[in-house]
A and B are shown apart, each in its own frame.
Chain A
C-alpha cells in the first residue's frame, strides 16, 4: 500500500496548491531579493521542495534546464551530510557532485517538525561569475573543469543558522565580483528560510501526518498522470541521431544518439552510441542530460503534470559513463548545460516523434547562441562585460509554422533592450532583424533565425562565442527541409569574415560582430504548402 491511500481527491488538490505555493514563494523571494540582473531580470533560477528522502515534491522553475537537475543536488547534499541540524544549509556547484555547470550554485536546507527531519528545500541560481579563465565563467575553449571556475562540493556554508565565515571568505576570494556574489548568496539563503517557514505553516494548518501522507500522495498522483500519458504512446522502439558541430577545441562533429523504448506505461531512453566525452567544454553531466530528457517528455505529453519525482518514476535514462552525455571528471562542462542540452532535446524529441508522428516537431534552432563581450568602456575608463543569448527559429509543427525569432527548448531568457545595452556599454546595435529565407521549407515552415549586429565603440573588445548549428542544420521532418545554419561573422571595413562556432577574438574600434542564428526545420513536403501561406510569406518577405 502506498502512503497516499488515506488522502482523498479534495485534500490531494488542496495540498498540491499548498506545496506548489511553497516552491513558488521560495522562488519569488529569491528573484525579489537577488542582486544581479541575471537572477532578478533573466530569472535564471529555480526552487523546489523535497521529502525527507530527497524525492522532489514540487518545483518552481523559469528555465527548463534546471528541471531534472535539482534532485541530483539534494541527493549529493544528503549523502555528504550525515546528520542535518535545524539551520544548516548545504551549498554546492560541482557538476560532478550534484551540480550542472559551475555558475549554477545550489542551496539545500532541511525542514524539521516535531524534532525530526521531514523535508528539504532547495534552490539554484546562475551566478554571473564563479572565477575561472574568462569573466562570466563561460569560456568556450577550456579543456579541464579546473579552468572553468571555483568548484564547491556539498559543504555546510551555514551551520545551525550561522554562516561559516572561513568558508565564505574562501568562496568570495575566488570570484570576480565578490560583493554581488555575496548579495546573491544571501538571497538564496533567504529563499531557503522562506521555504522552511512556508512549509512549517502548511504543517501547522494541515497537521504533520496529513502533510507527510500528502507528499506521498502527490508523488503517486503525478506518477498516475504520467503513466496515463505514456500509455497513450504506442509501444515500440525508435532511434534518433544528431550531432554537435564541434567541441570548440577540435573540429570534429560529435554524435548524440538515443534509443527510446515505450513499454506500456514506462519509457526508457538509452544514449548508447553517443560519442565519448570530448576535450572541449560541451560535455553534459548526467543531471543536464536528465533535465533535457525530462523537458522533452513533458513537452510531448502533458506539461501540466506537477514536476515532481512521481512524474519521473516511469522514465528511465541510461547514459554511458564517459560519454559526452555523462562525462567523468575532469572534463570541462560549461557548454554541456548551454548547447549540448539543446541537442539532447533534439534527439529525444526526434525519437519520440517517430512513435507519435501527430505530435512531432521539426528541430528548433538548437543553440542558445551564447555571446560574451568584454573590454574597457572609454567613456568611464572602466572594464565592462556583457553576456547575451540570441533567439532563432522554432521548429515547424504538424499544423503550424515554427515561430520566427524566439527562444526554444532549454532556455527562455530575455534579450537586453538595445537602448539599455547602448547606454550601459560602449557598443552600438546596427541591426536586429529576422533572417529572410532561413526557415526550413515544408507544408509548415520552420521559424526564421535572427541577425544581431553589434559594433564596438571601444578599443579592443574581447568576444567569446559558444554557438551551435553553424554547420549541421536543424532537421526537418516528414519531408520538410532543414533550417539554415547559423553564421558568426566579423565585419571589418565592410568585409565579412566568417568565424568558427566557438572561440574568442578581438574586436577593434568600429568592427562589428554579427551573429546570425539558425532557422527551424520544416514539416511535411514543401509542395503541400497552402498557397495563401506562400503568398503571405512572400508579401512579408519571410522567404
Chain B
C-alpha cells in the first residue's frame, strides 16, 4: 500500500483535531506525511480537563512536539450541553415596551398536540429579568418613538441588583435600524462589567421571536463558553501549544476561539457538523458527491444529506426547544442506536427504542447488569459481533446474557431467539429508513441517486440492510468510521456567515443598492477572517439571497454571484429561484412577483489541511469463519476479515464480517465490493 504511510517522528505533526464525545475524546494528529488517531477518556464534569490531560500525555509520550504544532481545531458539545442541561448564565433581556413576552409566547404553538402535560422548555430569561424600554422603529426603519436616555440610566441599578451575568438587547425592527440597540449596548457596557449581546449584531434578520431566542441563547452562553475556552487557551499556552484554537461551527465551517466566545450560538452543533464534514471529505475521495450520511451510535442515529458535494443547511434550527436561527447543517436525529431497548407494547407489537440502555448498564452483552434486550444484543446473538473482539473497552462480550435477554422477548412472541433478534434489527432498520426518507424523499431528493455513507459504532452493521430498503445502490464505509468528526475538523474551511434582511419587493430594489449591501457584508466577513490570520488572497465569497413570491411566507435560498460583479440586473437570480422552486416544490410561477427577504454572504478561507489525511487501519489479522445469521438465509458460514489486512483494491464477498478498530461492517450474502486506496470499503447493493 504505497500511498499510505505513517509518521514516525513527532516533528511532522502540525495539525491536531480534537472532538469530544460522551465517552471518548478523539484526537487526530496530522502532518504532511500521514496521520493517526488517538483516544482519551472524556471528562464530562469538566470537559477541558480531559482535553488538556490528553495533550500532556501526547507531549510526554513524544507523539507531538509543541514547537511544530501550528493549529488545533476543536469540536465541542459544551455549548449544546449547557443549553440542554439549563446551566446557562443568569441573563437579562431588554426589549421594546409592550413586547417582553415575545420570548415566552414564541410562535404560540405547543410542541405536542395531544400531551396535556406539555410544558415549554425552561425559560432562559425568567419574566422578572425581562425589562422594557420605550422606543419603536417602524417597518421601514424609521424611529417613531425615541429612546429615552433617562430610562436607560434608570435601568442600570435594577440590572445591577438583579445579579445577572449577561445581557441581551432585542428591539423590534433593529435589523433595519440598529441605532437604539447600539445606544443601549454602549451605555450598559460602560456602566456594567457584563457582556452585552445585541440582536442586530447576532442576527440582523426579521422575525422577532426567532431573533430574540437566538440572541438570548447567545448571551446566556457567552460566560459559559468564555470560561471553557479560556481554560483551554490557558492550558495550551502553558504547554507551549497554540493558544488560539479553531472551533467548529454548526454551519460546518470553523472559526477562531475569540469569535466563538463572542457568539457561542454559532457552535451549538459543533460535533455533528464536524462529523458530516468528515463524511463529505471521505465521500469525495471515494468518488461520491451525493451522500446520505448515517451516524449510528449507542443511543441515537443522525442522518444528513449532501448534494453535489454541498452540505444542506438550514436556518430554522432549534436546540433543546429554543429556536436558533443560524446557519446549521441539516441533521435529523432519531432514538435508534445499539443500546435501544426492544419491548412488547400493550397491543402485542414488538417495539425498539426510544429508550436506551445507555453506557450503564449498557446492553445485556456488556455484562454490567443490563438484562433488557437491545439492538447490540441482537447482533451478538446472530453472530454479527464477535465476543472476543468486543466494544467499548470491555474484555469480552457476554453471549449468554445477550441470549437470555432476547429470550425474554422471544418466548412471549412464540419465536426462536434468532427470529426475535432478526425482528429487533428489522424494526430498528424500519425506524432508520423512515429517518432517511424524511431527509430525502420528503424533501424531493431521490435516495437512488445517492450513496449511503455509514459510520459511528453501529452504522456499518446496518448499512447494507438500510440501503436495500431504500434502493440506495452504493454503500461507503470509511476506514476511519469512528473518527470522522475529528477528521472533519481539519478539512473544514474557516468561515463565517453574515446576512441582512430587507423584506422588500424585488422590483423596488435597485441592484446597485443590493450590491452596496453585499459589498458591506463582504467587507464585514473578510475582516472577521483577516482577524483570524487568514490571508486576503485566499478568502472566497458565496453570495446568496433568500427570495420568495409576494404573499408567501417561506423563502428559498439561491446563489446570486452577479451581485458581486455589480451586474445591474437580478435576472439570473430570478431565473434560479423559479428553477429551484420547481425542483423543490413541483411548480413555479415565472410571472409572479418576488420579494427579496435576506441577503447572505458566506466568507470562507482554506482549511487547516489542504488534503484529507489518510489513516492506517490497525487491528488483528483474522482468518476464521463463524456461523452468522442473515435475514432470509438464516445461519451461514461467514468469513471474518480484518480491515487492517485488506489491501488496495481487495475484493470483499458476502457473507463476511469486516472487523475494524472501532466498528464492524456486515456484508450479507450476495453483496460484494472492494477496498480502495485509502481503505474505504465500497459495496454494491442490489435488490
- Contact A406–B109 (Cβ < 8 Å): yes
- Contact A414–B109 (Cβ < 8 Å): yes
Query: Nearest CB to that of B584 among chain A residues?
Result: A32
Shortest CB-to-CB span from B10 to chain A, Å, is 51
- Interface flags for A14-53 (1: CB within 8 Å of B; 0: not) read 1011101100110011001101110011000000000000
Complex: how many Å from CA A24 to CA B139?
38
Chain B residues near A17: list those with CB within 8 A.
Answer: 427, 430-431, 433-434
Given A414-B108, A422-B138, A450-B105, check contact A40 B552 (CB 8 Å).
Answer: yes
Asked if B117 is an interface residue, CB under 8 A from chain A, the answer is: yes
Looking at A167-175, A295-303, A316-324, A465-473, the stretch in contact with chain B turns out to be A295-303
- Contact B553–A405 (Cβ < 8 Å): no
- Contact B552–A299 (Cβ < 8 Å): no
Complex: how many Å from CA A405 to CA B209?
14
Chain B residues near A37: list those with CB within 8 A.
Answer: 551-554
Q: Determine which residue in B116, B348, B351, B419 has the highest number of CB atoms from chain A within 10 A of its CB, and name it.
A: B116
Shortest CB-to-CB span from B548 to chain A, Å, is 10
Given A17-B431, A32-B443, A33-B585, check contact A221 B348 (CB 8 Å).
Answer: yes
Complex: how many Å from CA A36 to CA B114?
26
Complex: how many Å from CA A428 to CA B349?
54
- Contact B105–A224 (Cβ < 8 Å): no
Complex: how many Å from CA A12 to CA B422?
14
Interface size on A, residues (CB 8 A): 78
- Interface flags for B400-444 (1: CB within 8 Å of A; 0: not) read 000000000000010100010011001100110110011001111
- Interface flags for A220-248 (1: CB within 8 Å of B; 0: not) read 01101100110000000000000000000
- Contact A25–B206 (Cβ < 8 Å): no
Chain A residues near B540: list those with CB within 8 A.
Answer: none
Shortest CB-to-CB span from A536 to chain B, Å, is 8
- Contact B346–A224 (Cβ < 8 Å): yes
- Contact A404–B104 (Cβ < 8 Å): yes
Shortest CB-to-CB span from B126 to chain A, Å, is 6
Looking at B69-77, B95-103, B243-251, B676-684, the stretch in contact with chain A turns out to be B95-103
- Contact A420–B101 (Cβ < 8 Å): no
Q: Which of B99, B107, B413 is within 8 Å of A431, CB to CB?
A: B99
- Contact A12–B349 (Cβ < 8 Å): yes
- Contact B109–A412 (Cβ < 8 Å): yes
- Contact A407–B100 (Cβ < 8 Å): no
Asked if B633 is an interface residue, CB under 8 A from chain A, the answer is: no
Chain A residues near B120: list those with CB within 8 A.
Answer: 403, 406
Asked if A361 is an interface residue, CB under 8 A from chain B, the answer is: yes
Shortest CB-to-CB span from B306 to chain A, Å, is 20
Chain B residues near A397: list those with CB within 8 A.
Answer: 116-117
Complex: how many Å from CA A221 to CA B348?
7
- Contact B206–A420 (Cβ < 8 Å): yes
- Interface flags for A405-418 (1: CB within 8 Å of B; 0: not) read 11110001111011
Chain B residues near A295: list those with CB within 8 A.
Answer: 114
- Contact B434–A21 (Cβ < 8 Å): yes
Asked if A400 is an interface residue, CB under 8 A from chain B, the answer is: yes
- Contact B119–A9 (Cβ < 8 Å): no
Asked if B455 is an interface residue, CB under 8 A from chain A, the answer is: no
Given A300-B116, A423-B139, A542-B127, check contact A413 B584 (CB 8 Å).
Answer: no
A–B pairs, 22, beta carbons within 8 Å: A9-B344, A12-B350, A17-B433, A37-B552, A40-B553, A183-B587, A224-B347, A225-B346, A299-B114, A305-B347, A391-B105, A394-B118, A403-B120, A412-B110, A418-B102, A419-B139, A419-B503, A420-B206, A422-B138, A423-B503, A432-B101, A433-B98
Known: A16-B349, A414-B108, A540-B128. 8 other contacts (CB 8 A): A10-B413, A17-B427, A221-B347, A222-B347, A404-B105, A406-B110, A415-B108, A432-B98
Interface positions of A (Cβ within 8 A of B) = 8-10, 12-14, 16-18, 20-21, 24-25, 28-29, 32-33, 35-37, 40-41, 61-64, 180, 183, 186-187, 190, 221-222, 224-225, 228-229, 295, 298-300, 303, 305, 359, 361, 390-391, 394, 397, 400, 403-408, 412-415, 417-420, 422-423, 428, 430-434, 450, 453, 539-542
Interface positions of B (Cβ within 8 A of A) = 98-102, 104-105, 107-110, 112-120, 126-128, 138-139, 172-173, 206-210, 344-352, 413, 415, 419, 422-423, 426-427, 430-431, 433-434, 437-438, 441-444, 503, 551-554, 584-587, 589
